A and B are shown apart, each in its own frame.
Chain A
Amino acid sequence: MTTTTTAQTVRNLETVGLTKSFGGVHAVRDATVTFHHGKINALIGPNGSGKTTFFNCVTGMIKPDAGTVTFRGDDITGKAPHKIARAGIGRSFQLCRVFPRMTVLENMLVAVRRTRVRELLAGARNPEEIDKARALLVRVGIDHLENAEARNLSYGQQKLLELAGVLMGDPDTIMLDEPAGGVNPALIGRIGTLVQELNAEGRTFLVVEHNMDMVMSLSDHVIVFDRGRPIAEGTPAVVQSDPRVLEAYLGV
């Protein structure tokens, strides 16, 4: 990691007027959001509030109808997902996705990025890259499974593998779509710890999450979505007491 957590002035991910509709449904409309660099940013909101669509627009999986996405000052709107990934934004998927018929180690090696033809045709089992993959597997705690096919892992293990795979690409901004979804409380704690450690190393996080305990304990900055646009943002404490948020999300 070369980035430092020095200042708020470093620009990370920003969207201006991001809009996406599916037929008559305005999934995201006119969303202008600035994520804080070097922080753990959380994106919360009721189901159907456009969080995942917003996420997919930012990572290039969906092309927005209007608006711009900039990353560290560069316009990345509508770029191909692999280009956005290579620019330094790693992401996980809402329902955890791994390569089921590849081993855990092979899953990790997919994220190795090369561009020269000679490097691409060289053997995939490069000792340095394998060492790096193993170190990351140790870090998330599934290194003993490196030769198992990913489909034989439990859901929690797959979540950890997905996170390790994202880290393999050395992203400096990591977007997690519901990291706590479908995993037990102990593992939620473990993922939370990992996120904090990685954040302490200087990585910026954007976390879409429904688990309020996790959001409130983990994040520095919370953005609340409702009906496709941000309605409030601030520290967890501020957001929690905002009447608009209580109305939209907590149903009070």
Chain B
Amino acid sequence: MTNDRWTSGDAELTNALRALYAAPAEERYWDALEARILAHVARGDEGAMWWGELIEMVRPGLVAAAALILAATLAMVRSQQLEARSAYASVISAPSTLEAPSRGASVGDGDVAIHYLLSR
């Protein structure tokens, strides 16, 4: 059975792990890393600031563009509604095209229907 405790034979493995993962010991290394970290943070903040300023600058333009798009969409919807309404109105107010043709003595009901269909 595998034991999860290190045995004395595992000590060399632990030592090898420690050697492999040993952090740099020189104080100069840590001073340099600290400087690099702070420079990275400063650069990152500048980038974020630049991006924030850009967003601030373009925000009025974005708002205006959004308002324009909204207005154009509303106008389009309204014009479609008006068009539909006038189409209905024209259909309702137009004189019926299904007027019965005057019945002549020689024209039968079947002829009237054919005449109507051909006239369409």
Q: Are A and B associated in one complex?
A: no
